[in-house]
Amino acid sequence: MNAIEFSLLIGAASLLAGFLGSLTGLGGGVVIVPVLALLFKVDIHYAIGASLVSVIATSSGSSSAYVRKGFSNMRIGLLLEIATTTGAILGAFLATGTPTGKIAVIFGFALLLSAAISVRHRKKQAPDRPGDPLATRLRLNASYPVGETMEPYQVRRVPLGFGLMFGAGTLSGLLGIGSGAVKVLALDEAMMIPFKVSTATSNFMIGVTAAASAGIYLSRGYVQPAIAMPVTLGVLAGSLLGAQFLVRARTQAIRILFAVVIAALGIEMIYSGFTGRL
């Protein structure tokens, strides 16, 4: 295929990746990196570089819509970015010296973790259960729109969420995926934030995390405009569509669909990494 056809195909795949990533808060990189590496045979380091650039665009596009609709918790996002950006810089330094096969295997297991998190059912906490005192002091508790009303929620286990976010940032720099899987784990499971709020807040955070590590990939020559441009445009358009769709979407249906897609990609990435196909 010629360069134009190649760019159009990458752009179409990125559109779907951005749409799915925006709906779940996991980021389009979870889909686009394995697609570039497995389907388009792009070296995984260049795929990660393009993904990190696109993640910045994804966050800028979808998070602005979530903020206007009242879903994002800006105070939580800004607090946890301290941990994620530190981890992202560490992960980027580790990635540039790690063999392709090992990155593929790590990526595959990260995808399987994302799939498990997407479908895991979390028990609802009693509404009268007290929140984390630290969350109260930092004014992290808030409310989000449910129909025509605003439903309040309490933030819990802030230190645990902060620690998980450091791991999320390290994965972001290492794999170029925005680390939305661990971010959603920290926000949804550890800190007990409602799913739509955790999704919106994760989308706000992944851009800052990606920016912290993208500069390292750029300085090492792993950001190629011919790949990064169609990926960025496609993911950005998909993320904007996903942000509009999330408000009226069925949460469980989103989880199941995304889990099936990324579990299949995760298995293929692990197999390719072990067999030397990447």
pTM over 0.75: no
Q: Rounded to 10 degrees, what is the CA torsion of 64, 84, 260, 109?
A: 160
Mean pLDDT of the chain: 80
Question: What is the tens place of the pLDDT at every residue in 200-248?
Answer: 787 778 777 777 778 888 888 888 888 999 998 988 888 778 777 766 6
